Structure 1
Amino acid sequence: MKKIAIVTGASRGIGLSISKMLLSLDFKVYGICRYPEKCNFNHQDFHLYKGDLRESKTIPLFLDQIPTKQNITLLVNNAGIAYFSPIEELSSEKINEMVQVNLTTPMILTQSLTRVLKENSGRIIFIGSVSGEEISPWGNVYGSLKAGIHHFARLLFDELRKLSVKVHLIIPDITKTEFYDHLNIEPDTDPKSYLLPDQITNIIKNLLLDQSGLVIPEIVVKPEIFKLKRKKFQK
């Protein structure tokens, strides 16, 4: 039986790039996202399920659809959502969305799969953000939640290392994906000012292929220069 990987936010950006890489390593990938119909990638071992990670009931419904769950060896907590604005302009609905997707969902999904990952000497990978490490104007809620999941990953590393489960935290800086579609900022046009999803994926691939016996618990990845630009909106 093939090894099984679970990837959240698997239909685009970093999540889709990771899924393609895992398929090349002969994994069977089960992904979840809100709009699987918008993904134009197909593969016989790529199974994309529709689910709203803003809803707590989504996780058990998703896991119930996966056959042979006993073969799960990898969990990639990748999905994220962000709203940037002064705190008084953030609605309670948007705050709750960010809490659920960025913090609650990866914690519950991790809890749900830890037992089988222990049995299979598996891995858990968290895709964090430099917003969780630095002061981000108007990004206080998103940054706080990313800081929370970073700390969770670090504590989980120490909890599970003696049980043969490897935990990795990847902390990328500005990455050119659809993440910025609904924000008023976006990566600059200078290719040295942003990362590409495949660059993040290559780092994860090297971690998965390494058989040296060491574990790299945390990696921060940044482009050569820092530069963002504000979007120009048509009046």
Structure 2
Amino acid sequence: MQAIVTGYSSGIGKAIASLLEENSYKVIRLKSRLNDKKALEKEVKELLKSQEVNLLINCAGVGVFKPHEEISLDKIQELIDVNLTAPIVLTNLCLRSLKKTKGHIINISSIEATRHSKFSALYTATKAGLRNFSLALFEELRRCDVKVTNINPDLTKTNFFEEFNFEPSDSKNAHLIPENIAKAVWEVINFDGVITELTVRPQRLEIKKK
């Protein structure tokens, strides 16, 4: 079984890749930058000439939380490219292979895709787009036996928050850890049916200022 996992170098993506490898998956780590569509297309097409893919997990993501007028145009484009365009492009490139293997697409979105938070308009737009892409794609692919799942993690202790002025509380029941999300992904993969959407949250909401 072969899986493409983006965002594999840290955080949730790293935890997912590690768990898959522990369970006999070969994890394919793409080298192209996710915002370089031509390089991505070339790499994936070359890869699929010699092998098929059973699982595509779009996990890479970037964020920004500030007044919208303070966000640079380059940052706006980066969030759209990484959070939304790349998963759509990778799905497009892998879909014929996934139809052959009756595979599974899992998109790691965000709790922000389901609500409307202050200073999160751009991030929410990209993640809500990914969520709705996932849910609509499932309807398209039902007859092809390709599963599609959207997962919305809440606050998770990763390096995602390094550049922000806030982060999840250290209280155990106020944040998730990457391994929690990886375990949820594994349960989704092994579910006898299709979990089209899963929201994973800590019991309490607590953040701390840096």
TM-score by length of 1: 0.85
What letter is aligned with 1:193? A
The residue aligned with 2:17 is 19
Q: Do 1:83 and 1:142's aligned partners in 2 also have CA atoms closer than 8 Å?
A: yes
Residue-pair matches, total: 210
What letter is aligned with 1:156? L
Once the two structures are superposed, residues 68-118 of structure 1 have per-residue CA deviations (whole angstroms, 9 ceiling, x without a partner) of 653210000000011111011011000000010011110010011001100
Larger RCO, structures 1/2 (Cα 8 Å, 6+ apart): 2
1:73 aligns with 2:71: no
1:20 CA displacement: 0.8
1:156 aligns with 2:137: yes
Structure 1 runs not aligned, ≥5 long: 33-48
1:215 CA displacement: 1.2
What SS does structure 1 have at the residue aligned with 2:150? Answer: strand
The residue aligned with 1:43 is none
Counterpart-to-counterpart distance in 2, 1:69 and 1:79: 25
The residue aligned with 1:41 is none
Moved over 6 A (4+): none
1:134 CA displacement: 1.0
1:56 CA displacement: 2.3
What SS does structure 2 have at the residue aligned with 1:83? Answer: coil
Larger relative helix fraction: 2
Q: Do 1:4 and 1:73's aligned partners in 2 also have CA atoms closer than 8 Å?
A: yes
Counterpart-to-counterpart distance in 1, 2:22 and 2:61: 24
Q: Do 1:172 and 1:200's aligned partners in 2 also have CA atoms closer than 8 Å?
A: yes
1:119 aligns with 2:100: yes
Counterpart-to-counterpart distance in 1, 2:142 and 2:50: 22
1:228 aligns with 2:207: yes
TM-score by length of 2: 0.95
Counterpart-to-counterpart distance in 2, 1:124 and 1:64: 18
1:67 CA displacement: 6.3
Percent of matched pairs sharing the same residue: 37
Structure 2 runs not aligned, ≥5 long: none
